[in-house]
Amino acid sequence: MPTLGERIRKLRKQQNMTLETLAGTELTKGMLSLIENNKANPSMESLNYIAGRLNVDVTDLLEEVSNIELRELLEKAEILFSTNYEDLTNEHEQLIELVKPYVPKLTKGYEAARLLEMYSRCLSLINIDDSENLLKRVAVMYEQLNLTTKQGDIGASLAVIPYMKHQYQESLDILLKERAKLEANPLWIDPLSHLDYDYLEATLYFAVGRYDDAIRVMEKAIQYSNKHKIFKQVDNLYRLAAAQAMMAEDEIKIEHYLNKLLAYSEFADDEDSKIFIYYANIHYLNSFKKMYEEADHLYNTLSIKSINKKLFTPFSY
């Protein structure tokens, strides 16, 4: 963590000020140098004077993590966190190392909550249990800030943690509890967040064998998506619907949902969806129609070598 002297020096250099300029008429250049090198402790009067010269609040100098530092840290972390999946190397590890020293001090405010959220999500790739405790802390912080949609995102993430451990009923119980909490809040009006919950809820109903509930939620979500022209999760919903239709051996619905997914993939130029359609049709021809030669021919029309190894992104919230 930067010391008081280091924070003063950093702010001074950011504003292209010399020691002499910052010292002004109230301090000597030598005294200011001692303060910046942590060899002298400034009085409160001197701190107020320095803060005024730097045009910052004195709390930005006194706090172990100032708002200025948090904003700078957040900017760096967001760049690492937003790296496209297919371009990832060690960005998540870099983010963990970047934010880790600050974690005990991330206690309030949006910047702190967002940093802790990104840190815990990256940490979940290494240690799920520690990530869960941190996410619960983030949920409380977002609730205090009245950021309902962000709170909803964390609720979904908490449900995914037992899902990753194949504890599907526990995952569903958490999701339904989090959803009930959100639906009791009139501020939860974000349609994208609603669709996220619908998709995850339908997936979990399938996972625990409650197929009727899964189909009900899934079809409701598709209708909502079509009605409001919202395309988030629509590809996942169509994949889920196509898979369910195959399990039910409903040829009409299989064709309907695969055609819907094809239209979406062309509209969005979505490579994931295009490859899924190939494999869905191969599976359908092979498993249900027993048309093995046709399935093999279709398989061979797709060059496996041309498929990006990182094509299918991981399931995460």
Domains of the chain: 4-62 (1.10.260.40)
- Residue 34 is which amino acid? L
Among the ranges given (122-131, 146-155, 230-239, 276-285), the one the predictor scored with the smallest mean pLDDT: 122-131
**Using CB atoms within 10 A of its CB, is residue 101 exposed (0-12), middle (13-18) or buried (19+)?**
exposed
pLDDT of residue 85: 79
Closest by Cα among 234, 227, 229, 161 to 202 = 234
What's the pLDDT tens digit per position in 186-209?
888 788 899 999 999 999 999 999
Q: Is the pLDDT of residue 33 over 50?
A: yes
pLDDT of residue 138: 94
226-243: average pLDDT: 87
- Residue 10 is which amino acid? K
Q: CA 14 to CA 191: how far, in whole Å?
A: 42
101-113: average pLDDT: 88
Q: How far from each other are the two terminal CA atoms of the chain, in whole angstroms? A: 30
Global pTM value:
0.69
Q: Is the pLDDT of residue 314 over 70?
A: no
Which is higher by pLDDT, 209 or 67? Answer: 209
Which is higher by pLDDT, 269 or 199? Answer: 199
**Contact residues for 154 (Cβ-Cβ < 8 A; gap 6+):** 117, 135, 138, 139, 142
pLDDT of residue 266: 87
Contact criterion met (CB below 8 Å) for 114 and 132: no
Q: Is the pLDDT of residue 185 over 60?
A: yes
Query: 125: pLDDT confidence band, cut at 50, 70 and 90?
Result: confident
pLDDT of residue 310: 47
- E-only strand ranges, 115-160: none
Among the ranges given (27-31, 114-118, 281-285, 298-302), the one the predictor scored with the smallest mean pLDDT: 298-302
